């Protein structure tokens, strides 16, 4: 069981991800915006962050840069309905990139991979 923080401005996505991931036994916190994310990370202490790229008022890629600079080793999975964002150099600071789908098989696989990644401390 892992703590998963979801940031997505679409309510139905947050609901879908929350239900499916809780069914897998994970503890989920779903946020509508990346604003004030650092405080949420500090409080929830997630094992992995699932971050939408295209959100109203804020770019997930910019949020990713903030997360990566403050939490160097916190796994982040980018999600987008658009595969084209994969071409943005900022996206390589993410652990994985997933194109949104109602089938969460790929997302769950990437979460497993991110959780399994290990570099000795």
Partner 1 sequence: MSDWILENPENVSSAEIVVGIPSYNEADAIGFPTEQASLGLTRHFPGRKAVVVNCDNASTDGTKDAFFAAPCQVPRLYVSTPPGVKGKGNNFRNLFRLVRDLGAEAVVVVDADLKSITPQWIKFLGEPLLDDFGYVTPLYLRHKYDGTITNNIAYPLTRCLYGRRVRQPIGGDFGFSGELAKFYLEHETWNESVAQFGIDIWMTTLAMYHRRPITQAFLGRPKIHRPKDPASSLGPMFRQVVGTIFNLMGTFAPFWQEVRRSRPTAIYGFGLGQTEMPPPVDVNVEALYKNFHAGEAAHDAAWRTALAPNTYAKLREVLDLGLEQFEFPIPLWAHVLFDVAVAYRDRVLPPDDLMDALAPLYFGRTLSFVRSTDGMAMQQAEEYVEEQCLAFEEAKPYLLERWGS
Tell whether residue 105 is a contact of partner 1 (CB under 8 A): no
List the structure tokens of 89: 């150099």
**Which region among 24-32, 33-41, 91-99, 101-109 touches partner 1 (by CB under 8 A)?**
91-99
**Which region among 9-17, 28-36, 37-45, 93-101 touches partner 1 (by CB under 8 A)?**
93-101
Q: Which of 1, 25, 36, 118 binds partner 1 (CB under 8 A)?
A: 118
Task: Give the C-alpha separation, 15 to 33, whole Å.
Answer: 14
Q: Residue 47, Cα to own-chain centre: how many angstroms?
A: 10
61 touches 53 (CB < 8 A): yes
Q: Which of 21, 79, 95, 111 binds partner 1 (CB under 8 A)?
A: 95
What's the N-to-C CA distance of the chain in angstroms?
22
Task: Give the C-alpha separation, 35 to 31, whole Å.
Answer: 9
Query: Could you give the angle at the alpha carbon of 117 between the alpha carbons of 62 and 25, nearest 5°?
Result: 90
48 touches 2 (CB < 8 A): yes
Q: Which of 38, 93, 99, 108 binds partner 1 (CB under 8 A)?
A: 93
Write the binding mask 33 to 72 for partner 1: x where contact by CB under 8 A, - elsewhere: --------------------------------x--xx--x
**Interacting residue ranges for partner 1, rule: CB under 8 A:** 65, 68-69, 72-73, 75, 86-87, 89-90, 92-95, 113, 116-121
């Amino acid at each position: 069981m892992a703590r998963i923080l979801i940031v997505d401005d679409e309510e139905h996505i947050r609901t879908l991800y929350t239900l499916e991931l809780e069914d897998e036994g994970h503890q989920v916190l779903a946020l509508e915006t990346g604003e004030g994310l650092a405080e949420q990370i500090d409080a929830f202490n997630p094992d992995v962050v699932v971050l939408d790229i295209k959100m109203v008022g804020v770019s997930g890629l910019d949020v990713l840069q903030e997360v990566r600079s403050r939490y160097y080793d916190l796994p982040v999975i980018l999600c987008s309905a658009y595969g084209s964002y994969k071409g943005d150099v900022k996206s390589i600071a993410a652990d994985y990139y997933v194109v949104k789908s109602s089938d969460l098989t790929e997302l769950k696989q990437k979460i497993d991979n991110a959780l399994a990644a290990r570099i000795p401390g």
